[in-house]
Amino acid sequence: MTTPLVEMDGDEMTRILWKMIKDELILPFVELKTEYYDLGLPERDKTEDKITVASAEATKKYGVAVKCATITPNHQRMDEYKLHQMWKSPNGTIRSILDGTVFRTPIIIPSIKPAVKNWELPITIARHAYGDVYKSVEIRADEPGVARLVFDGESGKHQEVVIQNFKGAGVLQGMHNTDKSIRSFAHSCFKFAIDSRQDLWFSTKDTISKTYDAQFKSIFAEVYEEYKAQFEELGLSYFYTLIDDAVARVIRSKGGFIWACKNYDGDVMSDMVSTAFGSLAMMTSVLVSPDGKYEYEAAHGTVTRHYYKYLAGEETSTNPMATIFAWSGALRKRGELDGLSALVNYADQLEAACFDTLNEGIVTKDLVNLMEGITPKAVTSAEFIAAIRERLARKLA
């Protein structure tokens, strides 16, 4: 390796898996070069969360990061870890510094059939992570009256429309988005489509929302012009359609594309798509910034329930697949950027060794009941990783 990978360590069971993956699957095969940031909750508390900001800044500098799952503190965690403050979600902090979009993709294998039988390839959901209902303000109107939407520009320009003449009680909501955020979202989507060689779909409800959603549609169309030549060269397409039409087409499709969604649509549709593909433990996630910085991680959390079993001395069968794929994704990207074909090959072989292991029926407990046409054998995390190592060593020999 020439450029270091930004390594963000994390919490609980995934922190245990992190070390196992490094010791068994990476360090024996790669002359690993990382800049290490410990985002485990004790270190975040000790550094007043400066470590999280530093890790995001390092990602801006080097371009590629790999992140372990981390605890987002709540009241119970405050007591458990004797925290000085209820620190914000590290993912939220990193996302806002990188101004990025999260792409979630399932890892699929032949013996786990998606609930939608014609899906053959993964569907990646890109969720816009700013604004709309998530940054809205609301009023409960408890008597008749007039609701207005008002904008006072700095220039003195005044715009005003009546929302509703309430004859009785009701509710109202004001939401917003910004051209800047929508444009960043569009850049991240087009970049990721080119990067992963997949078509890009985007959907809103611009026939009903003729100003708000229409602005999303036109910014995407405008930004597409910058990527059009590259899309055409690669034989990729950008496809805009209405959200309800998109839902129907997604269900009838074979998969194998990226579906960019507005914030709320992405929230809802990512849970539907990931559940239909099988297991949260098999879902990968990558944050892509509009200027092409990448942070790879698993979509699941720190698997707390398994961690307490581990602390009690029990062997756990936690699925490391998504965390391994975060590493392989990050190392492949580093290899591509630095022109290191051996590193790219290593990432490919690591993933192939994982697939071989699963396809031979050696699996963690969470997958046992999902598999068809094969008799799976449930093993512990350590045994599963050892089985991958054996196959990886053969491939790289």
Q: Which residues bind Mg ion (CB under 5 A)?
A: 267
Expressed in percent and rounded to 5, the helix, strand and coil fractions of the chain are: 45, 20, 30
Nearest distance from residue 384's CB to ligand NAP, in Å? 10
Site for ligand NAP in 309-338 (CB under 6 A): 318-319
Give the three-class secondary structure for 200: strand
Contact indicator for 326, 296 with CB cutoff of 8 Å: yes
> Which partner in Mg ion, ligand NAP, none is near 41 (CB below 5 to 8 A by kind)?
none
Q: Is 305 in the site for ligand NAP (CB under 6 A)?
A: yes
Nearest distance from residue 379's CB to ligand NAP, in Å? 13
Tokens of 30: 């790669």
Nearer to ligand NAP by C-beta: 229 or 312?
312
Number of residues that bind ligand NAP (CB under 6 A): 17
Q: Is 303 in the site for ligand NAP (CB under 6 A)?
A: yes
Binding mask 148-167 toward ligand NAP (x if CB under 6 A, else -) reads: --------------------
Nearer to ligand NAP by C-beta: 280 or 358?
280
Give the three-class secondary structure for 174: strand
Contact indicator for 5, 33 with CB cutoff of 8 Å: yes
Tokens of 257: 């594309």
Q: Is 366 in the site for ligand NAP (CB under 6 A)?
A: yes
**CB count, 10 Å around CB of 14?**
29
Sheet of 5-9, strands arranged across: 34-38, 5-9, 64-67, 294-298, 283-288, 101-106, 123-127, 257-261, 199-204, 238-242
Interface with ligand NAP (CB under 6 A), residue from 70, 184, 198, 274: 70
For CA atoms 3, 106, 345, 13, the dihedral sign is positive
Binding mask 254-283 toward ligand NAP (x if CB under 6 A, else -) reads: --------------------------xx--
Tell me how far apart the alpha carbons of residues 94 and 100 are, in angstroms, rounded to a whole number.
8
> Which partner in ligand NAP, Mg ion, none is near 91 (CB below 5 to 8 A by kind)?
ligand NAP
Nearest distance from residue 10's CB to ligand NAP, in Å? 6
Nearest to 289 by CA among 102, 100, 103, 126: 100
Nearer to ligand NAP by C-beta: 71 or 353?
71
Nearer to Mg ion by C-beta: 163 or 268?
268
Nearest distance from residue 208's CB to ligand NAP, in Å? 33
Interface with ligand NAP (CB under 6 A), residue from 54, 301, 386, 395: 301
Residue count (the chain): 397
Nearest distance from residue 361's CB to ligand NAP, in Å? 17
Give the three-class secondary structure for 6: strand
> Which partner in ligand NAP, Mg ion, none is near 72 (CB below 5 to 8 A by kind)?
ligand NAP
Nearest distance from residue 216's CB to ligand NAP, in Å? 26
> Which partner in Mg ion, ligand NAP, none is near 280 (CB below 5 to 8 A by kind)?
ligand NAP
Q: Where are the alpha helices (DSSP H) in the chain?
A: 12-21, 41-46, 50-62, 75-80, 90-98, 179-196, 212-234, 243-252, 263-277, 304-311, 321-338, 341-359, 365-368, 381-396
Interface with ligand NAP (CB under 6 A), residue from 300, 333, 389, 391: 300
Nearer to ligand NAP by C-beta: 95 or 217?
95
Give the three-class secondary structure for 190: helix
Residue ranges that bind ligand NAP, judged by CB under 6 A: 69-72, 91, 280-281, 297, 300-305, 318-319, 366
